[in-house]
Amino acid sequence: MTLKIGDTAPDFTLTTDRENKEITLSKLQNKPIVLYFYPKDNTPGCTRESCDFRDNFTAFQKHNVEIIGISKDNVKSHAKFRETYSLPFTLLADTNADVCEAYGVINKKSLFGKTFLGIQRSTFLIDKHGIIRAIWRKVKVAGHVEEVLDAIQTIK
């Protein structure tokens, strides 16, 4: 099943990069959430995307929006990534890819002639009631954060 706008966001509980605490999506539903899935910590595109969210963090805060990044990297990798780039938001470790599967972001990829399953860069805008209001798949990093900020205006 592919998620679409208007669907209820699949609930999950994952471990954070901060003190190994757990976060459950449904417990955050008193504010909009930007949930972005990215392939790997400390890679050029993922670093740029995360830093773009960081650089615009104040604009998201003005709209009371929570930003959460998810990849299959472990908590230790996330903590180092967050510290290295001073990321002010939470990163979640989906090491088994269960949440990635639920959101339909695991896809076939190829690199140097080898095919493998990996995370397709994707973002979901979820309203305070847990309803998906916007979806971006196959995200191109340049200009993406601005698109997300524009979409936030439509759910107010």
Q: How far apart are CA 117 and CA 144, in angstroms?
A: 23
- Contact call for residues 13 and 22 (beta carbons, < 8 A): yes
Write down the residue that tokens 């773009």 correspond to: 52
Q: Pseudo-torsion of CA 32, 40, 138, 135, nearest 10°?
A: -10
Catalytic, 46? Answer yes
Select which of 14, 46, 65, 99 is catalytic: 46
66-71/13-16 β-pairing:
unpaired
Residues with a known catalytic role: 46
